[in-house]
């Protein structure tokens, strides 16, 4: 069983970050170790959440695991939220990352063309350097523009998106996957770029007109789980796109308020069926 270290906050109410990553990756067959960077009463889509910073726990926890000889197959980072946390996580990774430990970074810092509250240009610069250490990064369009100093806009051609991917790739990650991009009407998904081979891939699914909190965390966690289970890039990200669309549609049908996130608990059995189908097809093709 693969062991994943998941580094992001715990928002106690409103499904996102650790409260999505832990159950989803566990259901997909991985052992998940959580390293919380902070605990919030709710995610920041609710007004004035109570917050407890845990940045002083990060390095001592990593030192303890190192003393115990704990090995991680993947280090997965999401929302970090401050320069102090980024610095602490960098040190934890230095302590824990082995030669075969993959690093999967979701550089959560903004959406809809805006940087999240309480973050600044220095934080963006730190994250650009941080992304350079990763095997895979999965920024959305806003984050990609912030990381590369590119002016944000809503409309892009595929040629322009490919150029943006190359700029992101110049930061240093092995693979760059731009999320939340539409390549045709009524569809959304990802466009990816592999730096080593200079090749691109696209995965698109139906676009559901809704904006629930935590869908990016759901997508990233499913994609990572599928990659760790051995699916190739295109299959892993297509699975994540299809499952996220299915879950958003189910949540819309349930009438759930958007700030409470998507009802992934209802659709986890379908995720596992989708994963097993892909794994079987891959096995049969060998």
Res 44: pLDDT: 87
Enumerate the β-bridge partners of residue 76.
Answer: 6, 104
pTM for the full predicted model? 0.95
Task: Write the pLDDT tens digit of every residue in 129-172.
Answer: 999 999 999 999 999 999 999 999 989 999 999 999 999 999 99
* Cβ neighbours for 81, distance < 8 A, ≥ 6 positions apart: 9, 37, 38, 118, 119
CATH code assigned to 3-274: 3.40.1190.20
Q: In the predicted model, is pLDDT for residue 286 greater than 80?
A: no
Res 227: pLDDT: 98
Q: Would you list the DSSP string of 232-275? A: -HHHHHHHHHHHHHHHHHHHHHHT--GGG---HHHHHHHHHHHH
Task: Write the pLDDT tens digit of every residue in 67-97.
Answer: 999 999 999 999 999 999 999 999 999 999 9
How big is the CA angle at 50 (ends 49 and 55), to the nearest 5 degrees? 115
Give the integer Cα–Cα distance in Å for 66 and 95.
7
Task: Write the pLDDT tens digit of every residue in 106-130.
Answer: 999 999 899 988 899 999 999 999 9
């Amino acid at each position: 069983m693969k062991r994943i270290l998941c580094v992001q906050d715990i928002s106690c109410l409103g499904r996102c970050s650790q409260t999505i990553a832990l159950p989803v990756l566990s259901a997909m067959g991985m052992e998940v170790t959580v390293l919380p960077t902070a605990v919030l009463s709710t995610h920041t889509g609710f007004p004035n959440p109570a917050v407890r910073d845990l940045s002083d726990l990060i390095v001592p926890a990593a030192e303890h695991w190192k003393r115990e000889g704990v090995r991680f197959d993947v280090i997965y980072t999401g929302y970090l939220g401050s320069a102090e946390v980024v610095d602490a996580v960098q040190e934890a990774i230095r302590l824990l990352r082995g030669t075969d430990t993959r690093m999967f970074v979701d550089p959560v810092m903004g959406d809809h063309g805006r940087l999240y509250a309480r973050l600044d240009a220095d934080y963006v610069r730190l994250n650009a350097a941080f992304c350079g250490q990763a095997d895979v990064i999965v920024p959305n369009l806003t984050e990609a523009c912030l990381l590369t100093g590119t002016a944000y806009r809503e409309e892009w051609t595929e040629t322009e998106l490919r150029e943006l991917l190359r700029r992101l790739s110049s930061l240093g990650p092995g693979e760059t996957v731009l999320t939340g991009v539409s390549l045709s009407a009524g569809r959304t998904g990802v466009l990816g770029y592999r730096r080593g081979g200079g090749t691109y891939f696209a995965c698109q699914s139906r676009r559901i007109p809704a904006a629930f909190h935590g869908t990016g965390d759901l997508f990233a966690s499913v994609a990572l789980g599928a990659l760790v289970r051995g699916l190739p890039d295109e299959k892993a990200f297509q699975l994540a796109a299809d499952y996220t669309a299915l879950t958003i549609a189910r949540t819309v049908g349930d009438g759930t308020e958007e700030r409470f996130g998507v009802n992934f608990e209802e659709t986890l059995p379908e995720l596992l069926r989708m994963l097993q189908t892909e794994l079987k097809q891959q096995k049969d093709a060998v």
